[in-house]
Structure 1
Amino acid sequence: MDFYALSKLNGTVVFYMGLENLSNIVSGFMKNEKSPDTPCAVISHGGYPDQVVVASSLENILKDIEGKNIKSPSLIVIGDVVKLRSRLNFFENKSLFGKNIVVTRARAQASSLVSALKDHGANVIEVPAIEIKQINIELLSKEINNLQKYSHIIFTSTNAVKIFMDNLLKIKDVRSLGNIKIFAIGDGTAAKLMEYGIKADFVPSSFVAETLFEEIKDFLKHSDKILMPRALKSRSFLKDKLSEICETVEVFIYDTVIGTIGEYEKEILKNKIDYITFTSSSTVENFIKLIDSETLENIRNARIISIGPITTKTAENNGLNVYKQSEIYNIENLINTILNDLEK
């Protein structure tokens, strides 16, 4: 390499994948009378949550990167542009930069949570503890063909909305819901309905079955008939209480089955975990089944964030200490719970 020519350049010199040759690079510049005070930086894993940057000078860079966990792939930057690091360093100033956060939600559901955490700089470790499996579709189709007999439909999750609506649209269209009151537990569920052009008639003030029941019971009549398409493992509370007032038909249209965990994720989970998020009782129970005792002990040292009281109770019943619970039981506030914790 022509270090003489490179040393005479007034601009910036960048070496890709040059970490193993850093001593040769430094020596080459110094021998060709490049000022030892020339700014120099090494960037390891640039643009990733485990990014490490060491800014120094040509003379001191070899000494300064010692013990700094600098690994390949790395960039070596030589020139005055390194002086701008303090002004341009937005990435490492993100709220969750360097934090390892485990997401246990089903992969198909996790995109909004994962994207938001990554936008805040987190290193997200996806361990989908559950997978969504449609069931009883013939029975669902039968009820869809008899929607006229229902006065209300209650949706308790985004999964229920998606499976119900996708199957409805194979047979009919949204006009078949015209005279039916639509209730949704949670603003995420209501937002999913809006994707199909349906605005929920009612969303409870707190996103749990108990609150929904308390807030609608006085408006229901004995002549009403309610359809509840929901998960197989749903709690019976809502069905039992509504049935005391009017006929309530529960159709189990999906099941949450245990997910899978790869060898890479198994190893990562043995390292330091800052936060682990649980968004349902199923994610708690299945996650525990997926990991070994060593990993479980490591997880106990992490800050466990729960989306709501039912999930919290399940975690505690399984021997986990919940660090914090979202004040409002949705994904947005789950993320805010982590962000607010770091601001303290």
Structure 2
Amino acid sequence: MNKGRVYLVGAGPGDPKLISVRGLEAIQKADVIVYDRLANPRLLKHRRPDAELIFVGKLPDKHILKQEEINHLLVDLALQGKVVTRLKGGDPSVFGRVGEEAELLAEHDVTFDIIPGITSSIAVPAYAGIPVTHRNFTSSFAIITGHEYPNKTYSGLDWENLAKAIGTMVFLMGVANIEQISRELIRCGKPPETPVALVRWGTWADQATITGTLSDITEKVREAEFKSPAVIIVGEVVKLREKLAWVEKKPLFGRRILVTRARSQASELVDLIDDFGGEAVEFPVIRLQPPSQPEAQQALDEALDKLPTYDWILLTSVNGVEFFFNRLRQRGIDVRSMGNARIAAVGPKTAEALAERGIIADVLPSKYQGEGMLEAIQGDLRAGQKVLLPTADLARDYLPAKLRELGLQVTEVDVYENVLTTDDGDEVIHLLQNQSIHIITFTSSSTVTNLIEALKQLGIEEPLSLLQGVEIACIGPKTAETVRQYGLPITYMAEEATVRSLVQSMIQPK
């Protein structure tokens, strides 16, 4: 059997966008991903659907697998001919024990790549507004383990040279030993008033920082009950934090926000949350797909065959545009057959999707919903006109009903359908149970109903109780109406039915 290959990948310090391009490629091509708790689970969404996941733990008080067992696991998987990605927090070569894993792979003649990651020793201070070097303070820094093997003591470190020769000292895994670290540095000549900062869960939504001096930081850590994982920074550069704490000035800093819309639609919302300092957690409770029922497929194709006969084509979503034109292409139907119809788009994003296909909407309402579209076109409607309304299987019946009342001939067809999904649900339940989700965003009524149903399917008997205390943001009044039907309060309401307006509602004062 052919031997596999192992990628030893640094996942970065936590923010999933800090992984390297090569590291992301290794995730995408893996048969098996072996990961630990410091690798952001959001990175796993980039895996192949058939990739196997193996969590090897490493919590402060216990290991799911010992390091020696992890080493042999990588070898065993590779000898089975699998492509294995070992995903490690930070950089694998900085106290990541990658050398031990690589040594055993080399002994078994297994091909491996070491893919560096952004180490927490520089990234975490940077996210806290502390550059590890600065021309006015120091041109040197050292990365030091704050936790050594049980059979070693801190006498193994050259404390005197560290205290005298190094400008900035960054200690990893040292929270439990902060008292000893401070005492040794003072003993070896570091002034007691030397600034110190501890940054916990740096680059994550949970990032928290405390500052002090060598003389008082131990007591501050105890009072704050500051726990690992945290990075310790010792040196004059800590003084820059008050001026340079850029992440904490973002309006959504510290907020973990659940995104429930379909993954194919979520990128704009996720990117905006990230731009404003929040951490987006994707839980796409909807998957969009072409109609699955033969009768719906037949009705759509019959409508498309009659395109030249329609006076109006009303497109009520970006998804409607995408699936509509996909089916035209699959059927080999020329878009010029739409030439007799006037085309209306429900909002700017829908109009933009049309423009990308070379079609400029004739009508663009000021209100981005069915009521607004009807108001915008009503003056041009004539009884007997034929209207094609390509929508989703769960679309509201308001617009077609009103058009029929006005005497128009309406052909309403499903160009796509919403399917409930529960992918990545276990992670979301864990976050909700630990009250680590601060805001849930809903961009349609179906995202509301599907979230409740998804939680039920994942074993939560009372999903509404799990959502108590979580703030809710809605994109429009119809979505809000569905939320209220479940008895949930709404904290944020978009002024316009757009993703950007939804995010703006979350960053404005309540």
CA contact (8 A) 1:305 1:323 kept: yes
* Compared CA separation, residues 190 and 71, structure 1 to 2 (3 A): farther
**Does 2:450 align with 1:286?**
yes
> 1:141: how far off?
4.2
Q: 1:300 to 1:200 in 2, by over 3 A?
A: farther
Contact 1:270 1:295 in 2 (8 A): no
Q: In the alignment, which residue of structure 1 is the partner of 2:306?
A: 146
Identify which of 433, 439, 442 aligns with 1:275: 439
1:303 maps onto 2:471 in alignment? yes
The residue matched to 2:448 in structure 1 has which SS?
A: helix
Question: How far does the alpha carbon of each residue in 1:40-71 deviate from its partner, in whole angstroms, 9 at most, with x for none?
Answer: 11112222221111111122222212253644
Structure 1 pair 149–39 and aligned structure 2 pair: CA distance change class (3 A): same
Indicate the residue corresponding to 1:234 in structure 2. 395
Counterpart residue number, 2:252: 96
Change (3 A) 1:60 1:131: same
Aligned-pair CA distance for 1:24: 3.6
Q: 1:104, 1:277 within 8 Å by CA — same for their partners in 2?
A: yes
Residue 134 of structure 2 corresponds to none
- Alpha carbons of structure 1 residues 271 and 67: separation in structure 2 relative to 1, 3 Å: farther
- Stretches of structure 2 lacking an aligned partner (at least 5 in a row): 1-156
Q: Amino acid of the residue matched to residue 262 of structure 1?
A: G
Task: Report 1 or 2 for greater relative contact order, CA contacts < 8 Å, sequence distance ≥ 6.
Answer: 1
Does 1:167 find its partner at 2:327? yes
Residue number in structure 2 paired with 1:248: 410
Contact kept, 8 Å, 2:261 with 2:443, in 1: the verdict is yes
In 1, Cα distance between equivalents of 2:286 and 2:176 = 43
The SS at the match of 1:300 is coil
Q: Is the Cα contact below 8 Å between 2:274 and 2:280 reproduced in 1?
A: yes
d(CA) in 2 for partners of 1:123, 1:55: 24
Compute the displacement of 1:231 (Å). 0.7
Query: How many residues are matched?
Result: 342
Cα RMSD for the two superposed structures? 2.2
Alignment-mate amino acid for residue 339 of structure 1: I
Deviation at 1:138, TM superposition (A): 5.3
Q: Distance in 1 between matches of 2:259 and 2:238?
A: 36
Gaps (5+ residues) in structure 1? none
Residue 62 of structure 1 pairs with residue 218 of structure 2: yes
Deviation string, structure 1 residues 83-111 (Cα, Å, up to 9, x no partner) = 00011101111101112322221222111
Question: 1:157 — aligned with what?
Answer: 317
| 2:352 aligned with 1:184 | no
Counterpart code for 1:78: V
Q: Is the 8 A contact 1:50 1:123 kept in 2?
A: no
CA deviations over 1:159-192 (Å, ceiling 9, x no partner):
1111112222342454444443221112232232
C-alpha separation in 1, matches of 2:311 and 2:492: 39
Code of the aligned partner of 1:26: S
Equivalent residue runs for 1:192-211 within 5 Å:
192-211=353-372
Moved more, 109-118 or 174-183: 174-183
Distance 2:464 2:230 in 1: 34
Structure 2 counterpart SS, 1:229: strand
CA contact (8 A) 2:364 2:376 kept: no
Cα distance between partner residues in 2 of 1:223 and 1:241:
14
User: Structure 2 CA distance, aligned partners of 1:133 and 1:69?
Assistant: 49
CA offsets, 1:256-284, max 9 Å, x none?
12221521210211233432221111111
Using the TM superposition, give the Cα deviation of residue 6 of structure 1 relative to its aligned residue in structure 2, in angstroms.
Answer: 1.1
Question: CA offsets, 1:277-311, max 9 Å, x none?
Answer: 21111111111222335552242323322211211
Residue identity matched to 1:152:
W
Deviations 1:123-167 (A, max 9, x none): 333322222121145543443343222222111111111111222
> Does the C-alpha gap of structure 1 residues 142 and 17 become closer, same or farther in structure 2, counting only changes over 3 Å?
farther
| Aligned mates of 1:132, 1:14 — CA distance in 2 | 47
Partner of 1:124: 280
Deviates more, 1:13-22 or 1:30-39: 13-22
Between the aligned partners of 2:463 and 2:245, the Cα distance in structure 1 is 35
The SS at the match of 1:266 is helix
Conserved in 2, the CA contact under 8 Å of 1:229 and 1:252? yes
Quick one: which amino acid aligns to residue 167 of structure 2? G
Aligned: 1:25 with 2:181: yes
Is contact 2:308–2:339 with CA below 8 Å preserved after alignment?
A: no
Moved more, 91-100 or 213-222: 213-222
User: Which residue identity is paired with 2:212?
Assistant: S
TM-score for both structures, normalised by structure 2 = 0.63
Assess if the C-alpha contact under 8 Å between 1:269 and 1:295 holds in 2: no
Give the distance between the partners of 1:278 and 1:69, measured in 2 at CA.
35
Q: Does 1:257 align with 2:435?
A: no
Matched, 1:220 2:381: yes
Which moves more between the two structures, 70-79 or 230-239? 70-79
Aligned to 1:73: 229
Instruction: Output the CA distance in 2 between the equivalents of 1:181 and 1:245.
Output: 18
